[in-house]
Structure 1
Amino acid sequence: MATLSFNPTRIPHKPISKTASFSKHSEIPFPFSLKPSKNHVKPLHLQSNIITKLSVSTQEEEVETENEDLEEDDPTAETVYLDQETDPDSIVEWELDFCSRPILDVRGKKVWELVVCDDSLSLQFTKYFPNNVINSITLKDAIVSISEDLGVPLPERIRFFRSQMQTIITKACKEIGIKPIPSKRCISLLLWLEERYDTVYTRHPGFQKGAKPLLALDNPFPMELPDNLFGEKWAFVQLPYSAVREEIASLETSFFFGASLDLDLLGIEIDDKTMIPGLAVASSRDEPLADFPTSTSMSMKSCLTILWSFSASNSWMNGLEVCAIEADTSRACLILSVGIATRYVYATYKKTPVTTAEAEAWEAAKKACGGLHFLAIQNDLDSDDCVGFWLLLDLPPPPV
């Protein structure tokens, strides 16, 4: 069984500034196999050496170390951290959560917290707020203060995963020229929140055991997919983990579309020969997209036209924010999850003992890989190459 947690060599536990305690292989038979491309580039393994702030004298260094240890033991402290080896200008996208925590303040009211990071956790920021100042102005000012305190430019984009906070976050971002992106592809943030629940919130003097999240994640009933969204063919497929890494590496060097995950940071413990389940969709359509609506109620016609188009721009592709695919055996269909609260019946199949067993095997393989799976778009299911490749990850909702 695969495990999923932060890679400890990639996560700082002693930030430079004031800081809170940061804080089997299972081969499943499928009717098709997706052949890896012959022109792959080996994945890049980025290493991050975390540098802590050192004082000039030994005595000052000892005092600072003691203070850091005290701060890490204090769950009420806040985090203001930037990896000194990271170029601040390279951090163009943040992941953000602004929500209540299972913690009561001296008034007996729930404490709110702003948590911000980038996808590599080179930037980390947390700050508590009373519940009577929660609005877009407070959030906008906090975002600006992060930029000033850490000496980093305001990001080009901010991802967030709570639909209930969309109005506040969107307004705050737009007032300072940042593009808000509603997306559950906030993997680093979601895992960090899970870790903070165990190492920070539960140790806070105001922690309320058993308190349920105030803003639970939406899981709406899947909607019908427009006719022109369906691919011509689809199949359950699998790739060795090593080939998946090569596909992800080629995203940066080849002209095809998709989205990756930082597998090194996630620390997924999977053998290179382990078969990763995926879904291959074939379509011969290659007409360019003339226009793309930006409304959240946009027709999905444009979205999957992008998926199947060689000439559509990568920015439109990634704007779809594909986050997961689920095989629903009770309804004999595949469910595509995009954005933060949109689910579509992506494909259907005739329910038989054989097809149900295949769908169950696919879901079992996904579970054995820690939720890791992929979506591959091809011109033909027999092709060696992909037009698009999305690495996806099923994650349970955060405990807060």
Structure 2
Amino acid sequence: MTTATAIVAGHGLALRRSLHLSKPSCATFSARALPLPPAANCCRTVVAAATPSSRTCRCRSVSSESSTAAASDTTDEEEEEEEMDPLAEVCYLDPEADAEGIREWELDFCSRPILDARGKKVWELVVCDATLSLQFTRFFPNTSINSVTLRDALASVATSLGVPLPDRARFFRSQMQTIISRACNELGVKAVPSRRCVSLLLWLEERYETVYSRHPGFQSGTKPLLTLDNPFPTSLPENLFGDKWAFVQLPFSAVREEVESLERRYAFGAGLDLDLLGFELDENTLIPGVAVESSRAKPLAAWMNGLEICSMEVDTGRANLILSAGVSTRYVYAGYQKSAATTQEAEAWEAAKKACGGLHFLAIQENLNSDGCVGFWLLLDLPPPPV
């Protein structure tokens, strides 16, 4: 049994108060949790805040690497200007990457804060994979925004880079679901609405600074045309309820171990490329998470696996735990009896998550005292992209 499993299972000091899952009414948010177990029957610890310097370096794309190289090359101004050209489009495949092994893409098709010669907003297609081994961008006039244009552009990604079309393509804008789904379906690609497009979201943030803001048509202060949805939480489907849940913590080293062994040990779950995301945390920094106990843990993990879970948060005002999935789905995952003590614990959990750069996790177990997990999801809070 690994250290990570032991702590999630509650054998270490990381296990916090164990609460029975409730089914709060979505309309009133009145938590109907069972009473908290007596203090003598639960392990009480305080969620330790992580070192604030959680993520000092984010994803490295071709544009950022080119900018760095150009800045250091003072002997060839023409080459520097070419490298920094905000009008240039990206078509890149890491020569060391296994092209056949890139089976999932992340894509965005939306307007940018840039005006063309007609004074109209420019649109852009941005495509990458989770490791940024594949990167592709192309600008479009606003008169050619349809599923046919997108379908042909996606097909050109494969032909230009010599890679097969992916099995799945994730996207995070719900407003573009019809166009993206239609284009992908015609190519035999499954379109997956999901905010687990972490590499894409960070790359867009970087491109705002290194490309869009330097474009001659850039419009400062322009708000995104298609903002991300943040709907009112709805009731959790009956098949997604567990029996109990607990706030837990894992050392950063143990989280790495869980992610590295995810495919080998668990049939269900999802990780993140912590090296690519540039997390610089001490190995002993405690990462906050939620552990769920269920007598039907495997079916529960299987259902959860199809949700594209992206984050969890605590609504301390209504004493609810909120689960976000897909691109615009939010569930009232659980409730607890509100008191000064439980509010303090929930706030400490949220503070620990913020100190870790938004990193947290969800673990599903057959028993909170068992030796392993049935499913493990590494999650990350990210602000919406600036475009």
- Shorter chain as denominator, the TM-score bin is 0.7 to 0.9
Structure 1 residues 286, 384: closer, same or farther in 2, change over 3 A?
Answer: closer
> Displacement of 1:69 after TM fit?
2.6
Q: Distance in 2 between matches of 1:7 and 1:204?
A: 22
Counterpart of 1:137? Answer: 148
Counterpart of 2:54? Answer: 3
1:71 is the counterpart of 2:82: yes
> Displacement of 1:70 after TM fit?
2.5
> Displacement of 1:348 after TM fit?
0.3
Query: Of the two structures, which has the highest relative contact order with CA contacts closer than 8 Å and spacing of 6 or more?
Result: 2
Aligned partner letter, 1:387: V
Query: How many residue pairs get matched?
Result: 332
Structure 1 residues 121, 286: closer, same or farther in 2, change over 3 A?
Answer: closer
Structure 1 residues 263, 136: closer, same or farther in 2, change over 3 A?
Answer: same
**Residues 91-127 of structure 1, C-alpha deviations (whole Å, 9 max, x = no match):** 1111000000011111111100000000000110111
Counterpart of 2:218? Answer: 207
DSSP 3-state at the match of 2:218: coil
**Residues 329-365 of structure 1, C-alpha deviations (whole Å, 9 max, x = no match):** 0111000001000000000011111010000000000
Q: Distance in 2 between matches of 1:176 and 1:207?
A: 33
Aligned partner letter, 1:385: G
Task: Note the 1:1-400 alignment, pairs <5 A.
Answer: 1-4=52-55, 6=57, 11-13=61-63, 68-285=79-296, 305-307=299-301, 312=302, 318-400=305-387
**Residues 142-161 of structure 1, C-alpha deviations (whole Å, 9 max, x = no match):** 00111111111111110000
> Displacement of 1:11 after TM fit?
4.2
Aligned partner letter, 1:319: G
Q: Distance in 1 between matches of 2:219 and 2:97?
A: 37
Quick check: 1:323–1:339 contact (8 Å CA) kept in 2?
A: yes
Counterpart of 2:12? Answer: none
DSSP 3-state at the match of 2:95: coil
Q: Distance in 1 between matches of 2:215 and 2:111?
A: 14
Structure 2 residue runs of 5 or longer lacking an equivalent are 1-51
Quick check: 1:281–1:376 contact (8 Å CA) kept in 2?
A: yes
Q: Distance in 2 between matches of 1:368 and 1:112?
A: 35
DSSP 3-state at the match of 2:263: coil
Q: Distance in 1 between matches of 2:366 and 2:63?
A: 46
Percent of paired sites with the same residue = 68
RMSD: 2.1
Structure 1 residues 84, 68: closer, same or farther in 2, change over 3 A?
Answer: farther
> Displacement of 1:228 after TM fit?
4.1
Quick check: 1:6–1:191 contact (8 Å CA) kept in 2?
A: no
Structure 1 residues 127, 202: closer, same or farther in 2, change over 3 A?
Answer: same
Q: Distance in 1 between matches of 2:235 and 2:297?
A: 24
> Displacement of 1:66 after TM fit?
6.5
Q: Distance in 1 between matches of 2:56 and 2:147?
A: 32
Quick check: 1:96–1:160 contact (8 Å CA) kept in 2?
A: yes
> Displacement of 1:14 after TM fit?
7.9
DSSP 3-state at the match of 1:253: helix
Aligned partner letter, 1:114: L
Q: Distance in 2 between matches of 1:69 and 1:361?
A: 48
Q: Distance in 2 between matches of 1:137 and 1:6?
A: 37
Quick check: 2:266–2:373 contact (8 Å CA) kept in 1?
A: no
